[in-house]
Amino acid sequence: MRSCLIVIVLCSSASCSIGISADSNSATASIPCKSSQDCPGGMVCSSSLCRVSDLSIPQVLVDISIPSTTNAPQYSGMGFVLPLDVPSLGRADITLPDLVPLSLDADLQNTSNAGLNCDYSSVSAAGKNSVKVEVTHRWPVDGLERTVFTANSLPATLTGVPSGSGYTYEAYFSLSGDLSDQDPKCNLPPVLVRDVGVSASQSLLTLAWPTPKSIALDVQIQASAFATGSDLYHWQLDIVDPIQGRVLAVPVTLGANTVDAKDPGLVDYKATVNYNPILSADSSPPVGTELIRLQPPTGVAQPTYYVSMSGLTLFAGSNEAPLPINAVPAAVTIQGRVETADQAQPLAAPITFLSTGFSVGNSGIWADYTASTQSGADGQFNITLPAGQYRVLVVPSGDGKHAVLDTQWTIQSSPSNQAGRLLQVPIYSQVQGNAADSSQLTAFQSATIEATPANGLLCDRATQIVALRNSSPGARSASALFQPQSNSQFVLPVDMGRFDFSLRPSTDRPWIVWKGKEVVTGTNTLSAWASPLPVPWAGSLKVPSNVTSGGSGSTQIPWAVMRVYALLDDGGQVANDPKIAATIVQVAESRSEADGTFQLELPDGFQP
């Protein structure tokens, strides 16, 4: 049974609105006109200004980073990611969400129901000082911005929490005090509550910390596997959430094994884990998204195993769930050398091993292992890894010549010591482009050409949380100054992988953006350039009118960095919802002025 003491109050006040509003006084960099004949192709004259006739990027995410400000000090240092419509007339203010203080408490149902006399106020009787809380707000895409508020006792007063309709939070409670002199049942497992709504009218929000559930688990290993070191004695079982890996259980250390009563070819490690399921204010919260985690002792080179709670099956006639691991892969010591591919010179560099596959023998259970080491000045390295498949990344220091090595390895289970492995670091690939055929491009003095590792989007269907996913985790950003009047061609050294490229003029012109270009070894040429049509967006960055101005008399936010992103689906078309988007691409960037006004110039589309 799931229970949650949550009251959701949606904000009905106009001061809670977030987004854009028309402002006829905003400046604009649009092209003046008397008729559509005065406008470039694809634009029409409207209200004496040239406008793009059909916005190909009608919705964007605007990532706003606010510096320290006296105009509205409660907003200092905060970040916001707002999904907004691009104004068709080129003028619109952006109003940030209302901020409210929130007093948060937990109803510890374990103490009232079980009568254990647990004391969670070990520091002071004034509050629950053995409890800490983390409140998280995820904006539309996790990775652009993730707002976190923390407190080390309850009730907790959190200041500056964005409020209103559409703003929901996660609250994660856990114990921090020493409860060793109390009943073991007082060691409550943490609890994660999703979909917590906050409104300006709330002064106190109390969430349930329920009496924990328990699950009996039977971790099974083939008896014949013990010859390869598959003993799970002192391994640890717990339960975590699938997004951040936050612990939801009281960890249990496995003891000695016993021979399975029904199958002598198996040995069992049995344990009962007390945990709290993920709670939700939603009327139909996702069930069984929690992950059971089995991890080796610290320092042991073995993978960590996971299985979803929803993927468990119970033994017939019992409440015990089997976890058939079958066997743990053998630990293998690898000795090798890192050298340059062009001159075979030894290279000192960090090396990361990311597992891509282990032989588990059960489709519902998966394993993961990550490890790092460093090659010495002689290029030699030594590391112990469980046998399996790996993605190997070598990231050389910025010598201006050598690129990241991203390769695949298979490590066999024998012999236990394997020498002679070689990692050859390539030289940079070259990405080139030429503006000679575009008089519009050669007219400006300078620009910056940027290469940014492309980011995909991954939506967890059960929780609907969308997060960035870098398809080239080792690849690095690169940039260079481009001065087309002196040289119409540029050459940019870049790692191999998938990149977004943008040519960013120093003038008030829109960026030229190439999305998702695969960079391979050797020379890569960007497609023919076409100067995009400008889609201007002028306005002021504001806080709600009811916000105290800190004595400045202004509710406008100066010097904030504003980055604009477009969401694209699998077909490369603009998506208006991160949950259906496949990739995200930055298309513009600006900063608000001293008076809070801003001027963004968006491109009307992408390069082919």
pLDDT of 112 above 50: no
pLDDT score recorded for residue 508: 77
pLDDT of 26 above 90: no
pLDDT score recorded for residue 488: 81
Lowest-pLDDT range of 19-33, 85-99, 518-532, 562-576: 19-33
pLDDT score recorded for residue 13: 31
Of 587 and 532, the one with more pLDDT: 587
Enter the tokens of residue 572. 């490369």
pLDDT of 29 above 60: no
pLDDT score recorded for residue 113: 41
Q: How large is the average pLDDT for residues 243-247?
A: 92
Cβ-contact 149, 182 below 8 angstroms:
no
Q: Distance (Å, rounded) from C-alpha 437 to C-alpha 419?
A: 54
pLDDT score recorded for residue 443: 62
Q: How large is the average pLDDT for residues 107-113?
A: 65
What confidence category does residue 498 fall into, taking pLDDT thresholds of 50, 70 and 90? Answer: very high
pLDDT score recorded for residue 123: 46
Judge if the upstream peptide bond of residue 212 is cis by omega within 30 degrees of 0: no
> 435 CB contacts (<8 Å, ≥6 apart)?
441, 442, 484, 488, 489, 529
pLDDT score recorded for residue 6: 26
Residues 31-40: b if buried by 16+ CB within 10 A, e if exposed: bebeeeeebe
DSSP letters, 445-505, are: S-EEEEEEE-EEEEEETTTTEEEEEESSTT---EEEEE-TTT-SEEEEEE-SEEEEEEEEE
User: How big is the chain by its Cα radius of gyration, in Å?
Assistant: 29
Pairing of strands 252-253, 380-386: unpaired
Q: How large is the average pLDDT for residues 484-511?
A: 89
pLDDT score recorded for residue 10: 26
What confidence category does residue 360 fall into, taking pLDDT thresholds of 50, 70 and 90? Answer: confident
pLDDT of 439 above 70: no
Lowest-pLDDT range of 197-201, 374-378, 439-443, 460-464: 439-443
What confidence category does residue 246 fall into, taking pLDDT thresholds of 50, 70 and 90? Answer: very high
What confidence category does residue 24 fall into, taking pLDDT thresholds of 50, 70 and 90? Answer: very low
pLDDT score recorded for residue 86: 93
What confidence category does residue 402 fall into, taking pLDDT thresholds of 50, 70 and 90? Answer: very high
Cβ-contact 527, 541 below 8 angstroms:
no
pLDDT of 457 above 50: yes
CA 600 to chain centre: 26
What confidence category does residue 438 fall into, taking pLDDT thresholds of 50, 70 and 90? Answer: low
SS3 state at 378 = coil
What confidence category does residue 39 fall into, taking pLDDT thresholds of 50, 70 and 90? Answer: confident
Q: Distance (Å, rounded) from C-alpha 425 to C-alpha 407?
A: 10
pLDDT score recorded for residue 549: 56
Tell me the CA distances in angstroms from 339 to 348, 402, 410, 580, one per residue in order.
8, 10, 20, 43
Mean pLDDT of the chain: 84
SS3 state at 17 = coil
Q: How large is the average pLDDT for residues 470-485?
A: 88
pLDDT tens digit sequence for 45-67: 877 778 887 888 999 999 999 99
pLDDT tens digit sequence for 291-339: 999 999 999 999 999 999 887 876 555 678 888 888 889 899 999 999 9
Q: How large is the average pLDDT for residues 255-273?
A: 90
pLDDT score recorded for residue 262: 86
Most confident of 28-42, 173-187, 457-471: 457-471
Lowest-pLDDT range of 209-218, 449-458, 549-558: 549-558
pLDDT of 597 above 90: yes
Share of the chain above pLDDT 70, in %: 86
Cβ-contact 417, 385 below 8 angstroms:
no
Q: Distance (Å, rounded) from C-alpha 104 to C-alpha 20?
A: 31
Cβ-contact 429, 494 below 8 angstroms:
yes
CA 406 to chain centre: 22
Share of the chain above pLDDT 90, in %: 47
What confidence category does residue 202 fall into, taking pLDDT thresholds of 50, 70 and 90? Answer: low
pLDDT score recorded for residue 55: 84
The amino acid occupying position 311 is G
Of 500 and 439, the one with more pLDDT: 500
Q: Distance (Å, rounded) from C-alpha 455 to C-alpha 453?
A: 7
Tell me the CA distances in angstroms from 529 to 51, 484, 489, 532, one per residue in order.
22, 13, 12, 9
Cβ-contact 17, 543 below 8 angstroms:
no
pLDDT of 573 above 80: yes
Enter the tokens of residue 424. 């050859």
Most confident of 64-73, 206-215, 336-345: 336-345
Q: How large is the average pLDDT for residues 573-589?
A: 94
- Nearest CA-CA partner of 432 in 353, 487, 371: 487
> 27 CB contacts (<8 Å, ≥6 apart)?
538, 597, 599
pLDDT score recorded for residue 325: 87
Cβ-contact 194, 463 below 8 angstroms:
yes
Specify the residue for token string 């004695």.
233
Cβ-contact 197, 283 below 8 angstroms:
no
